[in-house]
Chains A and B, each alone.
Chain A
Amino acid sequence: MADVITLTYDISPDDFTRAGEASSDVKSKLKQMGVPPEAIRKVSIALYEGEINMVIHAEGGRITVEISPQRIYMVLADKGPGIPDIEKAMQAGWSTAPDEVRSLGFGAGMGLPNMKKYSDEMNIETEIGVGTTVTMSVNIA
């Protein structure tokens, strides 16, 4: 497995029921490739949280996943409203999700801290009215 494998997914904004399909596909591909379970678990949880955020807080976007023998590198780019205060957004429990999202089981303000927890490196670039790009990488031990 010397080459880098790249997977790309367009995330639809309209359908909450489909949110998570990309993460699900990435998980099964990583399994097929024989990536160690601990790395798969970290990628799955971090990516799924990020994918849900793209659907509930932005208007969908694009996920790119690069798999190399050393690490899994994820880019989640959306053209949503942007995040006004990243420091606040990173705090556990801080959420702007409406009640409607909470009734679907999300919006506890736990996603971004959880992405940080499960990735070995994480970076957020955001601009109000332009969009947000979250990059995360998980090392393959």
Chain B
Amino acid sequence: MTVKDAMDLLGADVLVGEEHLDREVRSACGSDMMSDVLAFSKDHSILLTGLCNPQVIRTAEMLDIVCIIFVRGKRPDDTVLQMAKERDLVVLATRHRMFSSCGMLYEAGLNGGAA
């Protein structure tokens, strides 16, 4: 699917990267612990999280993640969004909680990557 498909499924708003919505995404991971994301992520294109600090953007950058989705209605501040913009990331925000967001994307065909 594309980032746009994920956005529509979650009824999400685009905060950054409107011009990249046609990017292809295959797998996703969801966590508020960046430690775990760094340790377990393998070629994920989407990161779902409820954590809003700059380290979320840096973690995504190091892992070549395409799109960050903030869940539970969280919105990072402008400094964090600016960082995402500089790194060419797409940032979405959805009101859905983590479990529901992951479930909707999984059902629509995104996978969780190799175990």
User: A residues near B, CB below 8 A?
Assistant: 16-20, 23-24, 27, 41, 44-45, 48-49, 52, 92, 102, 104-111, 113-114
Residues of A within 8 A of B33 (CB): 102, 105-106, 108
The answer to whether B25 has its CB under 8 Å from any CB of chain A is no
Given A17-B53, A45-B63: A108 touches B36 (CB 8 Å cut-off): yes
- Assign chain B's interface to a size class: 10 to 19
A-B contact list, 5 entries, CB within 8 Å: A17-B53, A20-B62, A41-B62, A45-B62, A106-B34
B18 to chain A, nearest CB (A): 23
Residues of A within 8 A of B56 (CB): 105
A15 to chain B, nearest CB (A): 10
User: B residues near A, CB below 8 A?
Assistant: 32-36, 38-39, 51, 53-56, 58-59, 61-64
- A105 x B32 contact (CB < 8 A): yes
Q: State the majority secondary structure of interface residues on B.
A: helix
- B39 x A108 contact (CB < 8 A): yes
Q: Which residue of B lies closest to A106 (CB)?
A: B35
- B53 x A104 contact (CB < 8 A): yes
Residues of B within 8 A of A48 (CB): 38, 58-59, 62
Residues of A within 8 A of B62 (CB): 20, 23-24, 27, 41, 44-45, 48
